[in-house]
Amino acid sequence: MIMDENTIIYGELITVGNELLSGQTVNNNAAHIGHHLRLANFHLRWVTVVGDREDDIAEALLKAIKRADFVLISGGLGPTTDDRTNLAVAQALNRPLRRHPKSWQVISNHLEKHNLSMTPAIAKMADLPEGAERIDLVRPRAGYYMGDTEKPLFFLPGVPSEMADMLADFVLPTLKKRFPQKSVIRSHSLRLIGLRESEIAQRLEILEKEHPTVAFGYFPRFPENLLTLTVQDSTLTGADSTLAQVVQAVRDLLGLYIYGEGDNTLEMVVGNLLIKRGYSLALAESCTGGLIGHLLTNVPGSSAYFDRSLVTYSEAAKVSHLFVSPDLISRYGAVSMEVAEAMVRGVQKESKTDMALSITGIAGPTGGTKKKPVGTVFLALLCEKGLHSERFQFGGDRQKIKLAAAYAALDRLRRAMIDESFFHGE
Amino acid sequence: MIMDENTIIYGELITVGNELLSGQTVNNNAAHIGHHLRLANFHLRWVTVVGDREDDIAEALLKAIKRADFVLISGGLGPTTDDRTNLAVAQALNRPLRRHPKSWQVISNHLEKHNLSMTPAIAKMADLPEGAERIDLVRPRAGYYMGDTEKPLFFLPGVPSEMADMLADFVLPTLKKRFPQKSVIRSHSLRLIGLRESEIAQRLEILEKEHPTVAFGYFPRFPENLLTLTVQDSTLTGADSTLAQVVQAVRDLLGLYIYGEGDNTLEMVVGNLLIKRGYSLALAESCTGGLIGHLLTNVPGSSAYFDRSLVTYSEAAKVSHLFVSPDLISRYGAVSMEVAEAMVRGVQKESKTDMALSITGIAGPTGGTKKKPVGTVFLALLCEKGLHSERFQFGGDRQKIKLAAAYAALDRLRRAMIDESFFHGE
């Protein structure tokens, strides 16, 4: 993406804590901060994670100040001996720690309110670097701002809720005041199923070259793909019109492979289509073991259309609940187009739903044959428009095959409802 | 844990990707890598996150090489235009990209197998910096090792499953060879269900103080908890004997809340217990929507004991497949102990399995009442030892309630098979 570098305000984040390095804690704070900065048109360009060591914190801080327009530091502001951020700041910036009267007051009030007494460890939290301006006047753990340094510096607690509050209430408004923005950023996410990342990139290659000011972000989320388009412009209408134009061009190139936008999941999209048509749905699952039912019922309100899923793993279950004849199974095998079709007819007969889908396959690692290797999956879909049946060959391990099969099933339900050629294209 | 600083080998990690900076993706890879390095007695001292920019990747790499004993880089190795790690390496280390014959072969084989054709984007993945040694000989996205540089460098894909495999199969063994350690580190992981993290920490508080040389690591993985005990010693027998002693003490304190060790999942443990007893299992699910069946069938070989799961979401399905009388439902409600017990009797009658379990509840966000708020779940378990039924009240959103209910069900199956007092303790 080529942008006018002058218009972008870059931030850096330093997150402090041994628990982040040892993997005990996942760095959700970094994702939260990056996301909210981005929404406010600030770009995080560099995140550094260091442990509870003064030297490392100081080094990270000095490097960040050199590179970025502003710096956020999160963590290491508490009362314990491994909270060393303030000491590192004092050392790096040559700003000795001083008893901060407002902080002392906040801490004293807090202790009084909770009937606790002052300890040296707690008192330490009232010692802040010279020039520090306290962000929050309630919590004892001080978040603070240094606006008189070479670059503006924000110090936030590592506790997620405290960090999030101070980011929203103080950091973002202060940044907006300090860096009034000339340009506007707008972005749009599209969700895709049925194409690999490389296939998507190939189909969009020319479009991407034609629009050098639009950033094309590809995010594989097996078995789906997320595509995020981001535009920066000097005006809101300019950004919106470029974005709308590119989104339309992408839609023209990728068609029905795009199943949704933003936070919409495939199971939500299928659910909404069912609701719109007033359809009910029943499943007969085998190799997916209940995964399709699980995904569909993750959506609040799914009981309006989801009737049942008969997970018939054993042959006996297929026979007794789905009326699949033992003869058919012995002739074609439990994993076959014939049995998939019998399964879907069986579950529809019993449930009388508007749509029914069955799936049977070999999830592995054993059970494959030369003609039907591991990853072979048969699916059948029945509704008033007709019967659709299909054979798939998926790769990967057992869990990947189950996931790929479940998402293929959801995708076929979607296509059966919106693709005019779905039942004719066979 | 106190260690001799001289014996510590420090690593640095650079994770590459705009999606990590914009908060679109949480940096789970960093936590995974930090944790597994730690278990192998290597310490991550610094993690850097940079976007898909050559200059930033190159700068981060050169700084890391200066500070650390070894460097891992994850991400930016794919086929799209925003995959720029190889270009950055070439630039930073002055190691021009060359067509890597083995990589070319791996990619060609992969394309042939999947009936795809070579594109310039895919071909790009075969161009590696001079001196690169490919880690994996199956996957097209090359992870590679550079052992002839100033410090050993490992390049891993950002795709979590590929990264994790290459870390375990190549990076850790190579590091152990390259940095033979004087002191021995041994660790043991225990998996727990049914206690909160704070309850576990409280029960182990005294033990932890009695063993200051043992690191107690608590990792909540909702709805489970992982406890990792790590010992460092100058000899293998010393480490092993301390570890065995502490593990035994933890087992004494936590008893049946410990369901497994290491990588054993709860569904594997349940599966193994069923196999040992030659038991078969049938489920009748409602609020979990198929999740229990999905979890159980994630285990290879589960068809040996898993017979069926009847996901009866609608009342009609409960009536027709489980023989629950409409009267009972209208009298007590579909979410009730009475209906759970009728469901389990119904599925057992039809399947004739050795064990049967049913579950019905209110996953929310709507449907709760004062007497049965959202999160109310009833479970019934039937086997030759008797009938066990239980009411739960779970918190959180829809997905959390489904997860908590499914794991409670698996835990009850486990306890029914190993806890002598399970059917008497009511």
The answer to whether residue A18 is domain-embedded is yes
Provide the domain count of chain A: 3
User: Closest to A303 (Cβ–Cβ): which among B291, B303, B313?
Assistant: B313
CATH number at residue A281: 3.90.950.20
Q: Tokens 């069926």, residue?
A: B308
pLDDT at B257: 98
CATH number at residue A144: 3.40.980.10
Three-state SS annotation for chain A: CCCCHHHCCEEEEEEECHHHHCCCCCCHHHHHHHHHHHHCCCEEEEEEEECCCHHHHHHHHHHHHHHCCEEEEECCCCCCCCCCHHHHHHHHHCCCEEECHHHHHHHHHHHHHCCCCCCHHHHHCCEEECCCEECCCCCCCCCEEECCCCCCEEEECCCHHHHHHHHHHHHHHHHHHHCCCCCEEEEEEEEEECCCHHHHHHHHHHHHHHCCCEEEEEEEECCEEEEEEEEEECCHHHHHHHHHHHHHHHHHHHHHHEEEECCCCHHHHHHHHHHHHCCCEEEEECCCCCHHHHHHCCCCCHHHCEEEEEEECCHHHHHHHHCCCHHHHHHHCCCCHHHHHHHHHHHHHHHCCCEEEEEEECCCCCCCCCCCCCCEEEEEEEECCEEEEEEEECCCCHHHHHHHHHHHHHHHHHHHHHCCCCCCCC
Q: Which residues of A touch B286 (CB under 8 A)?
A: none
Enclosing H/E stretch for B310 = strand B306-312
Q: For residue B252, give every residue at least 6 positions away whose Cβ sits within 8 Å of its Cβ, in sequence order, or none.
A: none
The answer to whether residue B423 is domain-embedded is no
Nearest C-alpha in A relative to B218: A24
| ipTM score over 0.85, yes or no | no
Three-class SS state of B58: helix
Residue range A146-204, pLDDT digits in tens: 999 999 999 999 988 899 999 999 999 999 999 987 778 888 999 999 999 889 999 99
Measure the CA–CA gap between B268 and B343, rounded to whole angstroms: 25
Same-domain status, A321 and A189: no
Mutate to test the interface with B, among A81, A308, A359, A402 (most CBs of B within 10 A): A308
Same-domain status, B62 and B115: yes
Same-domain status, A335 and A410: yes
Q: How confident is the model at residue A82 (pLDDT cuts 50, 70, 90)?
A: confident
A33 touches B at CB < 8 Å: yes
Residue range B350-393, pLDDT digits in tens: 999 999 999 999 999 999 999 999 999 999 999 999 999 999 99
Nearest C-alpha in B relative to A56: B46
List % helix, strand, coil for chain B (3-state, nearest 5).
Answer: 45, 25, 30
Beta strands B184-193 and B153-156: pairing type?
unpaired
Instruction: Give Dmax (Cα) for chain A.
Output: 86
The answer to whether residue A424 is domain-embedded is no
Same-domain status, B214 and B172: no
B350 touches A at CB < 8 Å: yes
How far, rounded to the nearest angstrom, does the alpha carbon of residue B219 sit from its chain's CA centroid? 11
pLDDT at B3: 42
Last residue of one domain, picked from the residues B116, B146, B178 = B178
pLDDT at B236: 86
The answer to whether residue A310 is domain-embedded is yes
Q: Which residues of A touch B399 (CB under 8 A)?
A: 298
A301 touches B at CB < 8 Å: yes
Q: How confident is the model at residue A5 (pLDDT cuts 50, 70, 90)?
A: very low
Residue range B52-90, pLDDT digits in tens: 999 999 999 999 999 999 999 999 998 888 899 999 999
Q: Please give the residue range of the domain that contains residue B36.
A: 5-178
Q: In the Cβ-directed half-sphere of A149, how many Cα atoms lie within 13 Å?
A: 28
User: Closest to A197 (Cβ–Cβ): which among B80, B312, B363?
Assistant: B80
Residue range B164-177, pLDDT digits in tens: 999 999 999 999 99
B268 touches A at CB < 8 Å: no
| Structure tokens, B198 | 């704070």
Same-domain status, B204 and B254: yes
Higher pLDDT, residue B51 or B40: B51
Comparing C-alpha atoms, which of A230, A213, A237 is closest to residue A41?
Answer: A230
Same-domain status, B202 and B302: no
The answer to whether residue B157 is domain-embedded is yes
Measure the CA–CA gap between A85 and A102, rounded to whole angstroms: 19
Last residue of one domain, picked from the residues A178, A211, A242 = A178
Same-domain status, A128 and A159: yes
Q: Would you say residue B194 has pLDDT above 90?
A: yes
Q: What type of residue is A29?
A: N
Chains A, B: CB contacts within 8 A come to 259
The answer to whether residue A423 is domain-embedded is no
Measure the CA–CA gap between B57 and A59, rounded to whole angstroms: 18
| Per-residue burial over B335-357, b = 16 or more CB atoms within 10 Å of its CB, e = otherwise | bbebbbbbbbbbbbebbebbbbb
| Structure tokens, B270 | 């349940």
Same-domain status, A190 and A168: no
Mean pLDDT for B300-321 is 97
Contact B35 A22 (CB under 8 A): yes
pLDDT at B287: 98
Q: Would you say residue B6 has pLDDT above 70?
A: no
pLDDT at A51: 93
Last residue of one domain, picked from the residues A201, A231, A261 = A261
- Is residue A295 classed exposed, middle or buried when 0-12, 13-18 and 19+ CB atoms within 10 A define those classes? buried
Phi, psi of B82 (to 5 degrees): -90, 10
Q: Which residues of A touch B303 (CB under 8 A)?
A: 313-314
The answer to whether residue B147 is domain-embedded is yes
Measure the CA–CA gap between B377 and A400, rounded to whole angstroms: 30
pLDDT at A425: 60
User: Closest to A46 (Cβ–Cβ): which among B34, B50, B402?
Assistant: B50
pLDDT at B425: 60
Same-domain status, A174 and A190: no
pLDDT at A294: 98
List the 47-106 stretch of A: residues with Cβ below 8 A of B.
Answer: 47-51, 56, 60, 63
Same-domain status, A131 and A223: no
A46 touches B at CB < 8 Å: yes
| Structure tokens, B100 | 């890597």
- Shortest alpha-carbon distance between residue B28 and chain A (Å): 6
- Mean pLDDT for all residues in chain B: 93
Same-domain status, A284 and A189: no
- Shortest alpha-carbon distance between residue B343 and chain A (Å): 14
- Mean pLDDT for all residues in chain A: 93
pLDDT at A3: 42
Q: Would you say residue A347 has pLDDT above 70?
A: yes
Contact A307 B291 (CB under 8 A): no
Contact A363 B297 (CB under 8 A): yes
Same-domain status, A167 and A247: no
| Per-residue burial over B152-173, b = 16 or more CB atoms within 10 Å of its CB, e = otherwise | bbbbbbbbeebbebbbeebbbe
CATH number at residue B235: 3.30.70.2860
Contact A20 B34 (CB under 8 A): yes
Q: Would you say residue B4 has pLDDT above 50?
A: no
Q: Tokens 């009850």, residue?
A: B412
| Per-residue burial over A69-86, b = 16 or more CB atoms within 10 Å of its CB, e = otherwise | bbbbbbbbbbeeeebbbb
Q: Tokens 């490992």, residue?
A: B154
Q: How confident is the model at residue B32 (pLDDT cuts 50, 70, 90)?
A: very high
The answer to whether residue A174 is domain-embedded is yes
User: Closest to A50 (Cβ–Cβ): which among B46, B350, B363?
Assistant: B46
A323 touches B at CB < 8 Å: no
